[in-house]
Chains A and B, each alone.
Chain A
Amino acid sequence: MRRNVSSGRLLLAVLGLGLLMPVVGQAQEEQKVSVQVEVVLASKKGSEVEPPELAKMKEQFEKQNFNFTSFKRLSNEKLEVGAKTATEVKLPNGSNASLLLLGMKDGTATVRVAIPRQPTLDVELGRQGAVYQKAGKYVGGELILVLSPPSK
């Protein structure tokens, strides 16, 4: 019977360790947040809106007195942004946008977005809305970096 008791305890200990290992591993991992990053080319050449979801973006820009007629999505990716090293987004005009997690407060992350020759933004991530930042010129239009919550 004594043997049974000790083997049971050993099994429990192993199970406990097995459960704790992922928790410890997660704590050691770098904290990261997911950000949906799109690169859109807005121009006055043509009237193409590709994909059609960008019609909403076009409408919002029109309301702000922009007269772009064409919106084309050049890239769309979900990025994992960490605090140690900046996550780079290659822009078609040759420059890179870099995203860095500045910190997390009360469950809300703040991400720094830096694009060469453009203002550097500190963006507080939220469940709704998007941030549209001009990212430079490209083939007669304007590149726009769109940050939004990751799509499900």
Chain B
Amino acid sequence: MVVELNLEDFTPEEIDNDELIFGGRFDLDSIDALEIVYQVEQNFGIPMKEMNEARAAFQSINTLAAFIEARLQG
């Protein structure tokens, strides 16, 4: 996420896994959300067509990881 979203002011170690992805200190917007959706699809082969689940998954790194794990196992 740090690389793909070009978060120059942060390193992965500085990001708390429960920290808000949107609405917090990263200053991300819907265009960044789109990039995350795309990266999840490209890197994990998980399509995110249902935006309701995307919204829930985008709360934090942990919720996003849990979403990806659940989809990979399901």
Q: A and B: real partners? A: no
Which B residues contact A (CB, under 8 angstroms)? none
